Structure 1
Amino acid sequence: MTITLVRVDDRVIHGQTMTRWSKVRPIDGFLIVGDSIIQDSLRKKVLKAAAGNLKIGIYSNAEGPTKVKQGMESKKNFFLISNSPQVFAEMVKNGADFGKELNVGPMNTREGAVVVGRTLALDDQDYDAFEYLASQGIDISFQLIPEEEKKSWHEVKAKYDSMKAKV
């Protein structure tokens, strides 16, 4: 398998990605998928700078499944990252097969989201996307850096459900 890390991270490429994850998982480049990312020219420039000497491809949601297939067939190692679990759910619905593991990093507070952990806030669309991905046999783990203990979707879901019940 040449996609060595599949990750939801609202910052996409940043210090934790470059200094921590790239040390424990082999990487030659990044496959970044997300309509909101590809439409933001400033963000694309920042991501290209953050990638340093690693290759980077930034693709639309529609291009995602094709680029995932190409990445899986490549001899190079890639991190597949998006800023939203909805993008991964859409890719799976459109036939993408990136493996059976999804790592979730920072998903920070935003309007309508419920804070369920340190740097982790979910809204109903995130919840539905994670539920769909889990129903497709994808193991979802929440972990900012490799040295931290993973939390399962089951644990995060229970916290979200209890927090929503209080609202």
Structure 2
Amino acid sequence: MSIVDIRIDDRLIHGQVSNFWIPHLGVQKVLIIDDMIVHDNLRKTALKFGCPPSVSLTILSPKIAAEKLLRHADRGARVLILANSPQQLEALLKSGYPFTDITIGNLSNRPNTIPIKKTVYVNQEEIHSLIYLAKKGVRLFAQMVPGEAKLDFTDTILTLGKE
């Protein structure tokens, strides 16, 4: 298995992921990591409709995903890991699956969020998770589409942790 990207986007599968990221990365499988969606049949069905037909979709809790990833269950496949929040990836790391980079495409502007970048707004819980990840050596990048330059904002997040 080859993890081609670990991406946070609160929209999960949508036009940019389906039309830009999946072809750009040569993705064969999308793995959504989410504790709540795994139990929500309506959302699972909607996400399957948004996924290109040539790409398989799996939705797992962070704990089960970590176990599967550690067993290399998708050996040979090019896998895109998607989460709608940093908390899901914090849980994946705490469940024992190591990774070094996260790309954030979109975290929408919501009440009680602060802007990190044009398309990345974070609340206190998300900041806490991002700080945890950064302190564990995970680099944090913002990049909406493949043609856009990647912006490393790990130090920005670590600075927020010192305030």
TM-score, normalised relative to structure 1: 0.85
- What pairs with 1:48-87 in structure 2 (closer than 5 Å)? 48-53=48-53, 54-71=55-72, 74-87=75-88
C-alpha deviations, 1:140-163, integer Å up to 9, x for none? 1011111112222246438x84xx
**1:122 match:** 122
Give the Å deviation of 1:25. Answer: 1.0
**1:41 match:** 41
Whether contact under 8 Å (2:117, 2:142) holds in the other structure is: no
* Cα distance in 2, alignment partners of residues 73 and 38 from structure 1: 19
Q: What amino acid sits opposite 2:60 in the alignment?
A: Y
In structure 2, relative to structure 1, the CA distance for the partners of 1:121 and 1:14 (3 Å cut) is: same
User: Which 5+ residue runs of structure 1 have no aligned equivalent?
Assistant: none
3-state SS of paired residue (1:35)? coil
C-alpha RMSD of the superposition: 2.1
3-state SS of paired residue (1:62)? helix
Moved more, 58-67 or 6-15: 58-67
Give the Å deviation of 1:70. Answer: 4.1
**1:22 match:** 22
Give the Å deviation of 1:5. Answer: 1.1
Whether contact under 8 Å (1:2, 1:71) holds in the other structure is: no
Aligned residues, how many?
160
3-state SS of paired residue (1:13)? coil
Q: What amino acid sits opposite 2:153 in the alignment?
A: W
Whether contact under 8 Å (1:71, 1:78) holds in the other structure is: no
Moved more, 36-45 or 140-149: 36-45
3-state SS of paired residue (2:80)? strand
* Cα distance in 1, alignment partners of residues 59 and 74 from structure 2: 18
C-alpha deviations, 1:63-84, integer Å up to 9, x for none? 1211322457611111011101
C-alpha deviations, 1:75-99, integer Å up to 9, x for none? 11110111010111111112112x3
* Cα distance in 1, alignment partners of residues 72 and 81 from structure 2: 9
3-state SS of paired residue (2:58)? strand
Q: What amino acid sits opposite 1:67 in the alignment?
A: K
In structure 2, relative to structure 1, the CA distance for the partners of 1:10 and 1:66 (3 Å cut) is: same
3-state SS of paired residue (1:27)? coil
TM-score, normalised relative to structure 2: 0.87
3-state SS of paired residue (2:88)? helix
Q: Percent identity?
A: 26
Moved more, 133-142 or 59-68: 59-68
* Cα distance in 2, alignment partners of residues 117 and 140 from structure 1: 12
User: Which 5+ residue runs of structure 2 have no aligned equivalent?
Assistant: none
